[in-house]
Amino acid sequence: MVKAVVGANWGDEGKGKITDMLADGADIVIRFQGGANAGHTIVNEYGKFALHTLPSGVFHPNIMNIVGNGMAFDIDRFTAEYDEIVSRGVPKPQIMISDRVQVMMPYHVQFDTLEEARLAGKSFGSTKSGIAPFYSDKFAKIGWQINEFYQDDDVLMEKINRIADQKDVLLTQLYHTDPIDRKGLLEWIKTRREKVKPYIGNVSLYLDQAIKADKTILLEGQLGTMKDPDHGIYPMVTSSSPLAGYGAVGAGIPPYAIKQIVVVTKAYSSSVGGGDFVSEIHGDEAVQLRNHGGDGGEYGATTGRPRRVGWYDCVASKYGCRLQGATDVAFTVLDDLGYLDEIPVVVAYELDGRQTTEFPVTKDLARCKPVYKVFKGWKCDIRGIRKFEELPQEAQDYVNFIEQQIGYPITLVSNGPGRDDIIYRDSPLRKA
């Protein structure tokens, strides 16, 4: 059975924890898109980890962890993360890297950094991880599949020259910096290819055999619906699709194999990067929520930047769950709201004098104002509770209302950072 774990919102919903938790019953975990531009924070018996490239199943030694073909594969980040987790006592994980994955090149990171600096105040809020230049090259057909690294020097040099002839014009004329060191790039390729060679395999064949053997496969997505380049808040989006539907492409499996789609949404809203964010709050109210939120505060796992925060947005989440095709919703960090006397929830947007519960296109978002319904807070610590019925009534009412508003069954409620801080819930919507 293939299950997908994806985000409903702007990313940072807690997908790493949910993937790590669901991996207890899985045989394979595969990252199917994105790269080192976003991190999944996981807390377990080994400590606290922020993974950027490794799949979130690496803490389970019996699981095969796969870097899928849809990823932007950063070899240096991969090897550094692998070495770090092993040095901290994690058993050496099983790893397979798709022989069709494309590689993040040094000049991708360079171009990302240079362009953000050039755009200055009009930048896209990039993490400068090279993601946009990487995917631009992939679709311009000048990217590097990992299998291409294992060719003779003259073949590699021919491609390096062809790419550098194009990119050097931009480097020298637009950015006024040095051209690509072509011989240095060849040596970079030869050094990196040896580091990952033992892990490279035919992932699509492996997964085909696993599906036929009825293995349990988790597809792990990065970011969320609002960062999708087609359906998100374009252009303040990422450069690959974080939708579950893309999981089939980014992993190399048939779409009909995906039977369960667990869409993760947080008990409040947060976002890193630019773009309209209707439920965003500011000032002391935002500082309080940011510092109570997440595990140690709402700060980017990749950049350390303070995340923008806001109250739960039913309009955005309903849209996000619909685009993902949610069969189940995982509702995370409910425990972080225990300090509040009252908890607002965005139930609609006011757009040009009218209320709407449908998420609008990007050009209209800036004119939208949040419409709130306010709930009474539960004012206590709910960590350690394992049955939904044992939560304070105010917490139950909060979850039940949001479930009704978004229209998808909330079957998992996370009330703490640890793997076991989870409530399995028999949703009325699931019965329906």
Q: Provide the CATH number for the domain around residue 115.
A: 1.10.300.10
The per-residue pLDDT for 19 is 86
Domain end residue (candidates: 157, 179, 197): 197
Q: Indicate the SS3 state at residue 420.
A: coil
Question: Does residue 93 sit within a domain?
Answer: no
Over the chain, what is the mean pLDDT?
Answer: 92
161 plus 298 within the same structural domain: no
161 plus 20 within the same structural domain: no
226 plus 176 within the same structural domain: no
Of 17, 20, 22, residue with least CA distance to 2: 22
Question: Does residue 350 sit within a domain?
Answer: yes
19 plus 157 within the same structural domain: no
Whether the predicted pLDDT of 86 surpasses 90: yes
Question: Does residue 25 sit within a domain?
Answer: yes
Condensed to tens digits (0 to 9), the pLDDT of residues 331-372 reads 999 999 999 999 999 999 999 999 999 999 999 999 999 999
Whether the predicted pLDDT of 66 surpasses 90: yes
- What's the domain count of the chain? 2
75 plus 122 within the same structural domain: no
Please give the C-alpha separations between residue 309 and each of 5, 73, 272, 289, in angstroms, as whole numbers: 22, 30, 9, 7
423 plus 389 within the same structural domain: yes
- What average pLDDT does the segment 258-283 reach? 92
41 plus 175 within the same structural domain: no
Domain end residue (candidates: 147, 168, 197): 197
**Residue 348: CB partners within 8 Å, gap ≥ 6?**
314, 315, 355, 356, 357, 371
Residue with tokens 């480097």: 171
User: In this structure, what CATH number is given to the domain that contains residue 333?
Assistant: 3.90.170.10
Question: Does residue 91 sit within a domain?
Answer: no
Question: Does residue 87 sit within a domain?
Answer: no
357 plus 374 within the same structural domain: yes
Could you tell me what percent of the chain has a pLDDT over 70?
Answer: 96
Rg (CA), the chain: 22
The per-residue pLDDT for 16 is 83
Exposure letters 153-186 (e unless 16+ CB within 10 A, then b)? eeebbeebeebbeebeeebeeeeeeeebeeeebe
Residue 136, token pair as written in the block: 């631009």
Query: Cα(317)–Cα(399) distance, rounded to whole angstroms?
Result: 13
391 plus 283 within the same structural domain: yes
Query: Cα(430)–Cα(419) distance, rounded to whole angstroms?
Result: 24
419 plus 275 within the same structural domain: yes
145 plus 274 within the same structural domain: no
Question: Does residue 94 sit within a domain?
Answer: no
Domain end residue (candidates: 141, 175, 197): 197
The per-residue pLDDT for 123 is 56
Of 209, 255, 243, 215, residue with least CA distance to 326: 243
Residues spanned by the domain of 183: 102-197
Whether the predicted pLDDT of 39 surpasses 80: no
348 plus 379 within the same structural domain: yes
Positions marked catalytic: 12, 40
Query: Cα(375)–Cα(370) distance, rounded to whole angstroms?
Result: 15
Query: Cα(222)–Cα(35) distance, rounded to whole angstroms?
Result: 8
Specify the higher pLDDT residue, 196 or 11: 196
Band of residue 118 on the pLDDT scale cut at 50, 70, 90: confident
**Residue 307: CB partners within 8 Å, gap ≥ 6?**
12, 270, 271, 272, 290, 293, 294, 298, 299, 300
pTM listed for this prediction: 0.91
Question: Does residue 241 sit within a domain?
Answer: yes
Question: Does residue 315 sit within a domain?
Answer: yes
Q: What are phi and psi of 47, to 5 degrees?
A: 130, -160
Condensed to tens digits (0 to 9), the pLDDT of residues 365-421 reads 999 999 999 999 999 999 999 999 999 999 999 999 999 999 999 999 999 888 889
The lowest-confidence range among 75-89, 118-132, 218-232 is 118-132
Specify the higher pLDDT residue, 62 or 272: 62
The per-residue pLDDT for 124 is 59
The per-residue pLDDT for 35 is 85
The lowest-confidence range among 50-54, 158-162, 320-324 is 50-54
The per-residue pLDDT for 129 is 79
